[in-house]
Amino acid sequence: MSALPFIDLKAQYAALKPSVDARIQRVLDHGQYIMGPEVKELEDKLAAFVGTRHCITVSSGTEALLIALMALDLKPGDEVITTPFTFAATAEVIVLLGGVPVFVDIEPDTCNIDASLIAAAITSKTRAIMPVSLYGQVGDMDEINAIAAAHGLAVIEDAAQSFGASYKGRRSCGLSTFGATSFFPSKPLGCYGDGGALFTDDDGLAQAAREIRVHGQSQRYTHTRVGVGGRMDTLQCAVVLAKLERFEWEIARRLAIGARYQALLEKLPVQRLALRPDRDCVWAQFTLHVQARSQVQQRLSAAGVPTAVHYPKPLHQQPAYAQWAQGQSFPHAERAAQSVMSLPMSADLSEAQQDQVILALTQALDGLEP
């Protein structure tokens, strides 16, 4: 059996080659590499897809989070409540602006922030809540929005892993003050480099984000506020436009492949991620919990099945972020970091490939303590 790719971007390109190539060629022909027509075309299509008044494309998912906080005018010392079980970028942008990340533990079964613990973490300095829709499943946004409304806080969804996911019939990114996503190649909707987008219904915040993206300019060379160089390239927008052509199909495939993985795992001595009935998961990573993880990973690797760990250490235990946790422990995040493991996942994963993964996993688990 041949080794599987962890994420199959080559099969995706093969399927979309005519439109990707034509879209790229069109940019090369018109030559507007910065803020060319594809930027607005993509923003209009993505805003319609998500169902928000505004979409602002930016240079990465990290920049989307940063610009959202800047548009909200986060000040040094302001607190932002978030999860310790996420990629570093979530807390990084808070600290970069002089803000204070306040960590709240996760639900052990979904690995998303536990909304029932948020109210107790609010202080007079809290400005925003930043939940992460981890692995592609939105957290308890209605509950989080209600807490935020009661305390006058903004909510920024870190939707870097959940673009295309649905929550109570609405789309991820369109559920709160800001939704921020990433088009890093391996995300559910990826480009061929770095890219990202912000979504909001608030006209003033959208205007602020658009200005911050171009060095705070309200007009050319009028710097109304401090901004960043945060534009997304026209070429990368062209790639996403081409990928949008079969994105609905890809979402359906991701849901079906995820459901099939979940069913096939039922009889194995592993713990599956819990899925809430009123939302779906686009499985940016197909993640489960296993014991003796490193042994299982080694056995899978020997069988040609690549795995990954998202994430091996929660942020409150990372050297750069431990100071913000002030010695607190977050037991569910710590336990998840010990046991999570992600399996190969992409819209183009075939049933035969998936069966190969499950067979290898079954053999890898054989003889290990459950």
Ligand X SMILES: *Cc1c(COP(=O)(O)O)cnc(C)c1O
User: Is 49 a residue that touches ligand X (CB under 6 A)?
Assistant: no
User: Is 87 a residue that touches ligand X (CB under 6 A)?
Assistant: yes
Tell me the closest approach of the beta carbon of residue 116 to ligand X, in angstroms: 21
> What is the per-residue binding string for ligand X in 61-80, x denoting contact by CB under 6 A?
xx------------------
Among 52, 57, 176, 182, binds ligand X (CB under 6 A): 182
Among 160, 232, 336, 343, binds ligand X (CB under 6 A): 160
Which part of the chain contacts ligand X (CB under 6 A), choosing from 85-93, 198-206, 222-230, 247-255? Answer: 85-93
Residue 201 CB coordination number (10 Å): 16
Among 161, 297, 342, 346, binds ligand X (CB under 6 A): 161
Closer residue to ligand X, CB minimum distance, 80 or 361: 80
How many whole angstroms separate alpha carbon 136 and alpha carbon 131?
A: 12
By CB under 6 A, the count of residues binding ligand X is 15
Tell me the closest approach of the beta carbon of residue 60 to ligand X, in angstroms: 4
Q: What is the dihedral of CA 307, 346, 86, 314, to 10 degrees?
A: -10
Tell me the closest approach of the beta carbon of residue 259 to ligand X, in angstroms: 22
Closer residue to ligand X, CB minimum distance, 184 or 283: 184
Closer residue to ligand X, CB minimum distance, 160 or 208: 160
Residue 313 CB coordination number (10 Å): 17
Tell me the closest approach of the beta carbon of residue 284 to ligand X, in angstroms: 7
Restricting to residues 139-158, which ones interact with ligand X according to CB under 6 A? 158
Closer residue to ligand X, CB minimum distance, 333 or 360: 333
Q: Which one, of 357, 318, 320, lies nearest residue 341 by Cα?
A: 357
CB 172, CB 197: distance < 8 Å: no
User: Is 172 a residue that touches ligand X (CB under 6 A)?
Assistant: no
Tell me the closest approach of the beta carbon of residue 150 to ligand X, in angstroms: 26
Supply the residues annotated as catalytic: 187
Closer residue to ligand X, CB minimum distance, 161 or 346: 161
User: Is 200 a residue that touches ligand X (CB under 6 A)?
Assistant: no
> What is the per-residue binding string for ligand X in 101-140, x denoting contact by CB under 6 A?
-------------------------------x--------
Backbone angles phi, psi at 244, to 5 degrees: -65, -25
Closer residue to ligand X, CB minimum distance, 37 or 185: 185
Strand order in the sheet with 126-130: 54-58, 196-200, 178-182, 154-158, 126-130, 79-82, 100-103
How many whole angstroms separate alpha carbon 343 and alpha carbon 272?
A: 12
Closer residue to ligand X, CB minimum distance, 135 or 261: 135
Tell me the closest approach of the beta carbon of residue 102 to ligand X, in angstroms: 17
Residue 288 token pair: 């489960």
Among 12, 52, 90, 145, binds ligand X (CB under 6 A): 90
Residue 277 token pair: 């009935």
Q: Which one, of 159, 195, 183, 162, lies nearest residue 9 by Cα?
A: 183
Which neighbouring-strand residues pair with 196?
58, 182
DSSP character at residue 106: B
Residues 6+ apart with CB under 8 A from 35: 231, 234
User: Is 342 a residue that touches ligand X (CB under 6 A)?
Assistant: no
| Angle at CA of residue 357, ends 351 and 359, nearest 5° | 100
Closer residue to ligand X, CB minimum distance, 285 or 353: 285
How many whole angstroms separate alpha carbon 181 and alpha carbon 75?
A: 23
Tell me the closest approach of the beta carbon of residue 343 to ligand X, in angstroms: 17
**Burial of 43 by CB count in 10 Å (0-12 exposed, 13-18 middle, 19+ buried)?**
buried
How many whole angstroms separate alpha carbon 91 and alpha carbon 75?
A: 15
User: Is 196 a residue that touches ligand X (CB under 6 A)?
Assistant: yes
Which DSSP string corresponds to 206-267? HHHHHHHHBTTEEETTEE-S---B-PPPHHHHHHHHHHHTTHHHHHHHHHHHHHHHHHHHTT
Where do contacts with ligand X occur on this chain (CB under 6 A)?
60-62, 86-87, 89-90, 132, 158, 160-161, 182, 184, 194, 196
